[in-house]
C-alpha cells in the first residue's frame, strides 16, 4: 500500500523500538535501527563494530564487552540520524516511563523554520489499529462481543459476512480486499466514513492473510454499534482520558497551538514538502485518522503491555497468545512485539 503522507510519517513511531534496547546496556548488533522520520522512510543500515565496545554492568560491576554507555549510544544514534538526513522525534527508555527521554531532530516546517518538538503530534497512520483493537478487546472483556462473533451481526450486506469473525478482522484474514481510494472531499461524519468503506470494499471468501485498512474501519463500525457511541467518544472514554493522553487528536481536531508537521521527502539532495491528504485521512476511521505524540503512543503501548487496558488474559487473547504474526493490530515476532505494521 502506498500513501504519500504515510511514507513521511509512519516511522515516527518506530522510535518506540529503541526503548527495547537498554541504555547503559545498549547491545551493538547487526540489525537495522529504527528511528522516527518526517523526511523520508527507510530502514537504516546495520551498525557494525570495528572493535568491541566495553561498559560496566551496574549490577555486577563487571566489564561487559559489546555494550555501549549511555553517552556512546546517544552519540551513535545522533550520527545515524544525521547521516540519513532524518527529521522527526525520537523516544528512548530502558526503565519504563521513569526512564523516558525524547530527542528532536530537524524541522516540522522548513518554510517557517519551526523545529520539531517533544510533544509534537504526528499522523499515526496504521499504528492506530492497535488502539482500535484494544477497544474491541475491552468490549470482549465486558461480554458484549466474542472473537467468534460474525460480521453479519453488524453488516449483513457484506458478502460472506456470516463466515467472517471479529478475530479474522483483527488479523487481516477476513477475505476482505480494498485498495486505498481517496474521496474527492473530506468525509464529514463517522457514518460517511464507514459508508465509503462499505462501497469500496470487496469480500472474496478467501481467508488467507491480506492486509487492508477496511478491516479496521469495519471494527470501528462494530465499536459504534455495540457501544451506541461514536468511535472517537469510545477512544476518549476508554484510552485517551484514563491514560491522561494530552497530545492525541482526531485528524480534524488538532488545536491551533499544536505543531502540525509537514511531510518531507528527500529529492535530489533537498527536503521536499509533501501535502497530507485530509480526504484520505477522513476515510480511514480506526486505521489512520489519529494524530499522536511519541510520548502518548509509548504510554498507550506500555499500559497495554502491562495489562492496564485489557488485563493480561485479554492481552493474550488479543494477540493470539503472542503468536508471531500480525494479530490484533500488532505485528508480533519471536524477538520483538511491534505495534502496528511496517
DSSP output for 80-100: HHHHTT--EEEEE-SBTBTT-
Provide the 10 A C-beta neighbour count for residue 166: 25
Which residues are CB-neighbours of 264 under 8 A, at least 6 positions away? Answer: 8, 38, 39, 40, 87, 110, 271, 272, 273, 274
Quote the pLDDT of residue 11. 37
Residue with cell 522516527: 36
CA-closest candidate to residue 2, choices 331, 265, 290? 265
Q: Residue 332: is its pLDDT beyond 90? A: no
Q: Give the number of C-alpha atoms closer than 13 A to the C-alpha of residue 307, restricted to the C-beta side.
A: 6
What is the pLDDT of the chain when averaged over all its residues?
82
Quote the pLDDT of residue 93. 85
Q: Residue 221: is its pLDDT beyond 90? A: yes
Quote the pLDDT of residue 305. 92
Quote the pLDDT of residue 176. 98
Quote the pLDDT of residue 268. 80
CA-closest candidate to residue 297, choices 21, 9, 7, 16? 16
Alpha-carbon span 291 to 340, nearest angstrom: 14
* pLDDT (tens digit per residue) in 121-156: 999 999 999 999 999 999 999 999 999 999 999 999
Residue 291: all three cell numbers together: 494524530
Residue 66: all three cell numbers together: 559489546
Alpha-carbon span 194 to 214, nearest angstrom: 9
CA-closest candidate to residue 332, choices 45, 133, 150? 133
* pLDDT (tens digit per residue) in 264-306: 887 887 778 888 899 999 999 999 999 999 999 999 999 999 9
Helix 129-141, helix 311-318: angle, nearest 10:
120
Q: Residue 116: is its pLDDT beyond 60? A: yes
Least confident of 16-25, 58-67, 172-181, 185-194: 16-25
Residues forming a β-bridge with 200: none
Alpha-carbon span 342 to 336, nearest angstrom: 13
* pLDDT (tens digit per residue) in 33-72: 333 444 443 333 444 444 445 555 555 555 555 688 888 9
Alpha-carbon span 77 to 160, nearest angstrom: 49
Residue 2: all three cell numbers together: 502506498
Amino acid at each position: 500500500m502506498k500513501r504519500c503522507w504515510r511514507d513521511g510519517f509512519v516511522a515516527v513511531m518506530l522510535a518506540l523500538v529503541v526503548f527495547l534496547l537498554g541504555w547503559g546496556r545498549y547491545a551493538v548488533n547487526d540489525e537495522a535501527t529504527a528511528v522516527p522520520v518526517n523526511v523520508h522512510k527507510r530502514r537504516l543500515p546495520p551498525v557494525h563494530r570495528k572493535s568491541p565496545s566495553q561498559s560496566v554492568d551496574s549490577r555486577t560491576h563487571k566489564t561487559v564487552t559489546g555494550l555501549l554507555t549511555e553517552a556512546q549510544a546517544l552519540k551513535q544514534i545522533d550520527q545515524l540520524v544525521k547521516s540519513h538526513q532524518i527529521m522527526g522525534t525520537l523516544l528512548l527508555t530502558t526503565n519504563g516511563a521513569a526512564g523516558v527521554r525524547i530527542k528532536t531532530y530537524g524541522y516540522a516546517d522548513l518554510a517557517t523554520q519551526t523545529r520539531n518538538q517533544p510533544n509534537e503530534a504526528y499522523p499515526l497512520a496504521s499504528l492506530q489499529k492497535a488502539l482500535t483493537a484494544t477497544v474491541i478487546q475491552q468490549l470482549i472483556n465486558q461480554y458484549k462481543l466474542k472473537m467468534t462473533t460474525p460480521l453479519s451481526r453488524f453488516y449483513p450486506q457484506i458478502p460472506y459476512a456470516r463466515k467472517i469473525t471479529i478475530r479474522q478482522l483483527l488479523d487481516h484474514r477476513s477475505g476482505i480486499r480494498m485498495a486505498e481510494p481517496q474521496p474527492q472531499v473530506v468525509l464529514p461524519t463517522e457514518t460517511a466514513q464507514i459508508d465509503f468503506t462499505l462501497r469500496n470494499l470487496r469480500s472474496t471468501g478467501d481467508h488467507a492473510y491480506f492486509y487492508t485498512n477496511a478491516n479496521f474501519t469495519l471494527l470501528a463500525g462494530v465499536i459504534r454499534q455495540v457501544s451506541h457511541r461514536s468511535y472517537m467518544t469510545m477512544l476518549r472514554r476508554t484510552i485517551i482520558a484514563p491514560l491522561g493522553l494530552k497530545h492525541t487528536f482526531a485528524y480534524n481536531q488538532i488545536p491551533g497551538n499544536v505543531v502540525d508537521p509537514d511531510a518531507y521527502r528527500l529529492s535530489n539532495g533537498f527536503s521536499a514538502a509533501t501535502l497530507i491528504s485530509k480526504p484520505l485521512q477522513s476515510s480511514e476511521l480506526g486505521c489512520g485518522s489519529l494524530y499522536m505524540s511519541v510520548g502518548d503512543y509509548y504510554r498507550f503501548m506500555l499500559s497495554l503491555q502491562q495489562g492496564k487496558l485489557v488485563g493480561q488474559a485479554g492481552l493474550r487473547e488479543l494477540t493470539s497468545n503472542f503468536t508471531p504474526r500480525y494479530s490484533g493490530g500488532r505485528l508480533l515476532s519471536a524477538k520483538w512485539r511491534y505495534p502496528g505494521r511496517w
